[in-house]
Amino acid sequence: MPNEIITLQLGRYANYVGTHWWNIQESAFAYQDGDELSESDPDAMFREGETLRGETTFTPRLVLVDTKDSLATLPSQGSLYNEESYGEEDAHYLWDNGVDVHQSKALPKNQFLQDLQKEELQAPTNGFQNGHSSNCSSDPKSYAFEKVVSTWSDYKRIHYHPRTTILIDSNPVDKSKLESFHFGYEEAKTGTVLNEIEESVRFFAEECDALQGFHILCNMDDAFGGMACSVSEYINDEFGRNICACFPVLHPPSPLANVSKLRNRSLSNLLTLEGLLETSGFVVPLSVCQELFKSKAKSFPHLIYNAQLEYHTSAVLAASLECMTRAYRSRSRRSSVSDIVVNMVSGSRKLLELSSSLPLPYDHISHECFADFLCDYSDSMFYHSLTPYTSAASPVVKTFSQNVSLMGLTSLEFVTPAHLTEQSALHQCSNPTAMIKMYMKERFQNSQCSVTVVEEAMKTLTPYPQIFSECVQFDGSITTMKKPSKFSDQYTEFLLNGNSSTTSSKKQLQNGHGDKASPNSVSSVPMMTVLEASTSVGQLLKQSYEQGIMLRKWHARLGNSDTESHLDETIEKLQTLERDYQVCTEFSDDDSSD
């Protein structure tokens, strides 16, 4: 079965999400003989290589694009294959008369990165390097990430391959261009960025024995959305259709953003969505925002997070991606990226919704088994949508198919005690997959459902933020001893105090898990995701083209004929697609009346 996946990360916020995602994957690696192997297959997204000193390496099969200032202390070519990283005594020169070195002063590393560097230098050489060992993850130390993280490289745990990083100039004169969808689209079509992306993608693809597909993780609201559309077209032409999974991500805009910037964001959102739907296998927009074009953040039970911190919001999205993609990344997998397309996409209906339960609100005191838990949610939802304009709790006229991934429950959780077996059909089912399918079928009749269950929990080790409420225990279990913190009150206090230099880390979070030095910090959580093809995404399409109509009027007044023409075409395509979902709804009504 096809195995390898190549990931592309385009843009600042996409790299925030991606960095958390790679950190989560790395935290599950087995470093020592006797360590329990992860149920995920690391070869799916990581590659084996070799340094100049013959040491085996394990790095992400990744191509990322960002601006130069996003790297901070990170070398553009990484340090794993850089001979300078081995020290002056190991360097070899062909020139006998010495070498003059001129370099700019390096930026100071935060304490977390310093500790990682010390850990590497002190670790014994064993012929295998993946970046770092797991010691730093378990070190009971507070790093105050909320204060020190200014870019994604400030909390990156692992090394990248030299072919991974592609940089764009970000001088103040050209910075406004990075807000334009069209600049990104053309830059990836005609600029030097295109050649660099193609060369890196070919390099990783040629190493693959059986490439199963691509992940494109991209900003949705700026030039990198346009770049993602160009890259998706290239992959479609070079490698074939239906193997590209696109995850455009959207961070809540700053409350201080001006009207012009918000209009540019809205235009990029619209054009990115339509462009990716045109060429990709499927598209799953992700955000903690309730809507594409407004900044209000969603509340999630058992999570207390600062919606203005990219370090926080990206962690929520990264954990959900990790759980969702387990369906085609597990060692015992029976599916691939293309299988998701075959099972969940029909015609032009490529827009999917992702919902998540982070953490799974499974209370061992109130529930004697998992069937008890599911029965408690027979009329309500325990997972929440991460796709704007959609809601897992809202009435869905028609659900076509679902892909469920559950992490963190042992087989014993699915065994019903003898005195409860007669309570419901769910209690009589001891097979995890069958139980979840039965539950979903009762909620969504006539929907196809595939299920992936892994006992391994979602790791939330350093540097994952401690954004969990007080009722979440260190192992992710839920206790009824304390009520979940009220989001509105906690979030308001966090916004007021979160950036204060005099506010302690524990005071900032106000959730019982102030920092990693706390003995009750959460190290892993059970969670569940539901990838869904349904008519609920029609609302997202409708709001998108209605926003496009408003933008078209504004550009018409300014005389921007090219943008106006592009918007006309985009609006028409989104209206047609939205009508496709309406037709599905009508067919569903006809079928139910027969």
pLDDT at residue 94 is higher than 80: no
Report the share of the chain in percent with pLDDT over 70. Answer: 77
What whole-number distance in Å separates Cα of residue 130 and Cα of residue 123? 12
pLDDT at residue 168 is higher than 80: yes
- What element of type H or E holds 9? strand 4-10
CB-hemisphere CA count at 13 Å for 433?
A: 8
129 to 26, 32, 82, 114, 272: CA distances (angstroms): 12, 12, 13, 18, 38
What whole-number distance in Å separates Cα of residue 233 and Cα of residue 52? 36
Report the share of the chain in percent with pLDDT over 90. Answer: 45
Lowest average pLDDT, out of 68-82, 218-232, 340-354, goes to: 68-82
* DSSP per residue, 235-253: HHHHH-SS-EEEEEEEPPP
pLDDT at 171: 66
Helix (H, G, I), strand (E, B) or coil at 387: coil
CB-hemisphere CA count at 13 Å for 306?
A: 23
Count of all residues that appear for the chain in the document: 594
Provide the 8-state DSSP code for 90.
G
pLDDT at residue 529 is higher than 90: yes
Can you read off the two tokens belonging to residue 262?
Answer: 């918000």
Question: Alpha helices of 479-560 — where are they, by DSSP H?
Answer: 487-497, 505-509, 538-558
pLDDT at 106: 65
Q: Which residues contact 98 (CB under 8 A, 6 or more apart)?
A: none
Q: Are 226 and 179 in contact (CB under 8 A)?
A: no
For the segment 17-22, the average pLDDT, to the nearest whole number, is 98
Q: Which of 76, 42, 72, 74 is nearest to 59 (CA)?
A: 42
- Top pLDDT among 537 and 91 is at 537
Burial of 216 (0-12, 13-18, 19+ CB in 10 A): buried
pLDDT at 55: 79
Q: Which residues contact 550 (CB under 8 A, 6 or more apart)?
A: none
Name the pTM for this structure.
0.88
How many helices (DSSP H) and strands (DSSP E) are in the chain? 16, 17
536 to 320, 365, 384: CA distances (angstroms): 19, 35, 13
Lowest average pLDDT, out of 35-49, 304-318, 407-421, goes to: 35-49
pLDDT at residue 35 is higher than 70: no
pLDDT at 389: 82
pLDDT at 71: 83
pLDDT at residue 494 is higher than 90: no
Can you read off the two tokens belonging to residue 494?
Answer: 């966090």
Lowest average pLDDT, out of 27-31, 81-85, 372-376, goes to: 81-85
What whole-number distance in Å separates Cα of residue 507 and Cα of residue 515? 10
Q: Which of 61, 63, 64 is nearest to 5 (CA)?
A: 61
Burial of 36 (0-12, 13-18, 19+ CB in 10 A): exposed
What whole-number distance in Å separates Cα of residue 378 and Cα of residue 405? 19
Lowest average pLDDT, out of 85-89, 235-239, 299-303, 343-347, goes to: 85-89
- Which position has the token pair 């500790």? 115
The pLDDT tens digits for 124-142 are 444 344 544 444 545 557 7
CB atoms within 10 A of CB 113: 21
Which residues, listed in sequence order, are joined to residue 40 by a DSSP beta bridge? Answer: 330
pLDDT at 256: 62
For the segment 21-33, the average pLDDT, to the nearest whole number, is 82
331 backbone dihedrals φ, ψ, rounded to 5°: -65, -30
The pLDDT tens digits for 303-331 are 999 999 999 999 999 999 999 999 999 87
**Burial track 558-587 (b if 16+ CB lie within 10 A, e otherwise):** eeeeebbebbeebbebbbebbebbeebeee
pLDDT at residue 61 is higher than 80: yes
What residue type is 185 in one-letter code?
Y
Q: Are 244 and 216 in contact (CB under 8 A)?
A: yes
CB-hemisphere CA count at 13 Å for 47?
A: 25
Q: Which of 478, 356, 456, 376 is nearest to 409 (CA)?
A: 456
The pLDDT tens digits for 97-118 are 556 655 556 678 889 999 988 8
The pLDDT tens digits for 556-574 are 776 677 777 888 999 999 9
pLDDT band at 394 (very low <50, low <70, confident <90, very high): low
For the segment 222-246, the average pLDDT, to the nearest whole number, is 92
pLDDT at residue 594 is higher than 80: no
pLDDT at 486: 43
Full set of structural domains in the chain with CATH: 4-83+117-344 (3.40.50.1440), 538-593 (no CATH)
Q: Which of 297, 305, 280, 294 is nearest to 358 (CA)?
A: 305
Which residues, listed in sequence order, are joined to residue 219 by a DSSP beta bridge? Answer: 249
For the segment 275-285, the average pLDDT, to the nearest whole number, is 95
pLDDT at 134: 47
Q: Are 152 and 70 in contact (CB under 8 A)?
A: yes
What whole-number distance in Å separates Cα of residue 476 and Cα of residue 360? 8
What whole-number distance in Å separates Cα of residue 107 and Cα of residue 68? 13
Q: Which residues contact 331 (CB under 8 A, 6 or more apart)?
A: 37, 39, 40, 41
pLDDT at residue 46 is higher than 50: yes
pLDDT at residue 231 is higher than 80: yes
Burial of 590 (0-12, 13-18, 19+ CB in 10 A): exposed
What whole-number distance in Å separates Cα of residue 172 and Cα of residue 179? 12
